[in-house]
Chain A
Amino acid sequence: MEEASPILAADHVSLRFGGVKALTDVSFSVRRGEIFSIIGPNGAGKTSMVNCVSGRYRPTEGRILFEGQDITRVGPNRRAALGIGRTFQNLALFGHMSVLDNIMVGRHHLLKTGFLRGMLYWLGGAQTEELAHRREVEEIIDFLEIQHVRKAPAGTLPYGLRKRVELARAMAVKPKLILLDEPMAGMNLEEKEDMARYIVDLNEEWGMTVLMIEHDMGVVMDISHRVVVLDFGRRIAEGRPEEVMADPHVRRAYLGEADEVTQPAEEVV
């Protein structure tokens, strides 16, 4: 019954900042194992939506359900522990810290060893736990091919690598659902292809459900299973990429009113 129980559901979510309506009555659901994209023109409320899911914003109205549980009032750090990881639109690495330390912060909620037991590090317990975590972190590092920079301060890396380190950090949380806010922004073609491959692999091999915001339509159409389109904070379409792109509302949102003129021309062809 996996189909029937979505991993994530937005239920009539509205978000207002004073008089500004960032989101109005948005509903959609993400199925387990999907790559699900949120698209829409600039200012459509995509990042606001992701922030509602990650807990940075609390919806003014409506609910967020994760694995059937209402998490609308759950704090962001608890959501990470429940299995929601994320990356940020503007790079948000801990610049002074090494790549490895950045990733280890993602393990925070999984490291059970507390402060006092940590002091007894060498007396057992902590050591085996640490080793198990190191192994998993190494797997992530291998997967994203960042072995060569593991000790480097994250702030010194080139852009494309930093994007990968941020993804590694979000993966370290061991999320069931990973939120990617523009994972390919500012990348060249080759970097985009690499990133698309990583996203497909982390979905297929690592079993993570992906909720992604991306502007590059080519990538979105290629790798997404389903897409929701937002415009001025409202949901205007949801479905498989090709269905959504054929939707007249979507065409209007992206191309403007001139849409009307081009449509008859297509029908002729």
Chain B
Amino acid sequence: MDLALLFQLTLNGLIVGALYGVVAMSFVLIYKASQVVNFAQGEFLLVGAWVCWWFLTDWQLPFWAGFLFTLAFMTVFGLVLQVVVLRPLIGEPVISVIMATIGLGIFFQALMKWIFGVFAKPFPPIFPVERVSVMGLEVQTVYLVSLGISLLIMIGFAWFFTASKHGLAMRATAFDQQVAQSLGVSVPRVFAMSWAISAVVSAVAGVVVGVVNGVSSALSFYGIKVFPAVILGGLDSVLGAVLGGIIIGLLENWAHYLDSQWLNWGNMFQIAPFYALVLILLLKPYGLFGTKNIERV
């Protein structure tokens, strides 16, 4: 038993899990508002990270400026995507919408490879100190910052949904579009806004992961990791997404511990979340906080 490693992995799990939670939240946001299962969520991270990388290296912008420009770009990106691709699909069968988002995923995956190449590229160093020690554990500075950012985003979401005009309108739309319209809420605008926010928030996660691991198409794997997280939490629950993300992050790292200490299979790290996914679907198909009557696809 290597306790130090266990602690280290637990901390990693929390940090990565919080990031999963953030991506899962942005996935749930789209699902809740517009009932679209977005298979291109991972590509949002990818596009965001590449665009930020491009601002920082080709344009030599300072990090904060490049980051802000990235967020601005992603806002427009999300809006355009919704208006051009998803809006014409309103009222079409669920399967068509899913195929469209899968298509979007493949398209952006390929587009990014075409523009930026197939090899991982590192971000220029952003923090003066690479690693800090927290209670004897080595933690990358960017991870600590990312944990902070994740928490900020979560608090932001909580504020948005409970206290802001648009958050309230979004919840109302999620519940019943006809009724929301009768109260003066513009449903197309709510849809567009949900895509924009989702793209921005995913891009933040993409940049954080990019800073740690370098930017490459592997980033879009986060989009797949989101599924165990949101299905554990319940497809339409924002709180569930956060908890689901953290649980999946921890599970991954504990599986890694188990593997490295005893099993030596070598791949538990990647597979464990999907074992969990299968179990959840068997035992609690609507997740921890999900609405019972949502349609499964």
Contacts and interface: CB of A to CB of B under 8 A. Distances in A.
A94 B176 contact: yes
B169 A95 contact: no
B166 interface: yes
A89 B173 CA distance: 19
Contacts of A16: none
Interface in B141-191: 162-166, 168-169, 171-172, 175-176, 178-187
A95 B292 CA distance: 14
B196 to A, nearest CB: 10
Contacts of A137: none
A80 B171 contact: no
Contacts of B186: 75, 77
Contacts of B176: 92, 94
Interface stretch (A23-31, A40-48, A111-119, A218-226): A111-119
A94 B168 CA distance: 11
B182 A86 contact: yes
A65 interface: no
Among B165, B166, B168, B176, max chain A CB count under 10 A is at: B165
Nearest to B291: A96
Contacts of B185: 77, 105, 108-109
B200 to A, nearest CB: 12
Interface string A86-116: 1010001011110001001111111101110
A80 to B, nearest CB: 3
A105 B181 contact: no
B183 A118 contact: no
Contact of A173 (B162, B163, B175, B184): B184
B182 A105 contact: no
A96 B161 CA distance: 13
A169 B162 CA distance: 17
A195 to B, nearest CB: 20
B182 A108 contact: no
Contact of A109 (B163, B164, B171, B184): B184
Interface in B120-149: none
Contacts of A121: 163
Contact of B166 (A77, A96, A110, A115): A115
Among B165, B175, B183, B193, max chain A CB count under 10 A is at: B183
A104 B187 CA distance: 17
Nearest to A88: B179
A81 B164 contact: no
Nearest to B156: A119
A94 B172 CA distance: 6
A209 interface: no
A172 B184 CA distance: 11
A56 interface: yes
A145 B187 CA distance: 31
A77 B171 contact: no
A85 B184 CA distance: 9
Given A56-B178, A92-B179, A95-B175, A104 B168 contact: yes
B165 A111 contact: yes
Among A76, A110, A115, A170, max chain B CB count under 10 A is at: A76
Contacts of B172: 94, 97, 105, 108
Among A56, A101, A113, max chain B CB count under 10 A is at: A101
Contacts of A107: 165
Contacts of A113: 165
A77 B172 CA distance: 13
Contacts of A72: none
A14 interface: no
B181 A108 contact: no
Sorted from nearest, which 8 A-B pairs have the closest CB atoms? Answer: A109-B184, A80-B184, A76-B181, A92-B179, A105-B172, A111-B165, A94-B175, A77-B181
24 contacts: A76-B178, A80-B184, A85-B183, A88-B179, A88-B182, A92-B178, A97-B171, A97-B172, A104-B168, A105-B172, A105-B183, A105-B185, A108-B165, A109-B184, A109-B185, A110-B184, A115-B164, A115-B166, A115-B193, A118-B164, A118-B165, A121-B163, A169-B183, A172-B183
Interface of A: 54-56, 75-77, 80-81, 85-86, 88, 92, 94-97, 101, 104-111, 113-115, 118, 121, 169-170, 172-173
